[in-house]
Amino acid sequence: MTMDRRVRRTRSLLRQAAIEVIREKGFRAARVRDITERADVNRATFYAHYADKYAFAEAMVRDEIRHGFATRLPAAPVADLVHALAVLLWEDSSRADGCRRNIDDLRPLIQRAVRTEVSRLLVERCAYESAVTAHIVGSTIVGAVCWWRENGLPATSPGEVADEVTRAVLYGLRPASG
């Protein structure tokens, strides 16, 4: 189902304005009024699309995640998909470090949206019959990358992080053979 051109335009204006306002003020200080004034969109129009700035932020994050998945993840077997997904999440979280002051308030929302979208992707691409299984696998991937970043663990490359995450997802708690 395609979205009406006017709706796409309005959402694009709001998105760009929100990015600018959040960069300037941070999420907590950004108000819907600031965003709508910057976008030159009526506040009532904003509320016709979103319940509040948190719903708007979550929609923005999900759209960005879906776009990233669609354009940057290969159609591949599960192991390759998990590896590519871990690399993508690592690289995106590294980029987010540059604007940490402005997104710290959004971190729980972002992590929830990423987990949801990763689970959705796994159901779609890997044909998991159980949404619970997809959620567990998705949460494992996202949680591992977040834990690695938050604890400042060394990584010489996103591929090394992805290798470790892929091993954990595919082999779980089985002891390493050596």
- Whole-model pTM over 0.85: no
Q: What is the pLDDT of residues 3-58, one digit of tens each?
A: 789 988 999 999 999 989 988 988 889 999 999 999 999 999 999 999 999 999 98
Tokens 């319940």 label which residue?
51
d(CA 118, CA 133): 12
- What dihedral do alpha carbons 148, 68, 106, 31 form, nearest 10°? 160
Q: Give the model's pLDDT for residue 101.
A: 52
Q: What is the pLDDT of residues 127-156, one digit of tens each?
A: 777 888 888 888 888 888 888 877 877 766
d(CA 56, CA 164): 34
Q: How distant is the alpha carbon of residue 177 from its chain centre?
A: 34
Q: Give the model's pLDDT for residue 173.
A: 64
Residue 66 banded pLDDT, cuts 50, 70, 90: confident
What single-letter DSSP state applies at residue 174?
A: S
d(CA 75, CA 80): 9
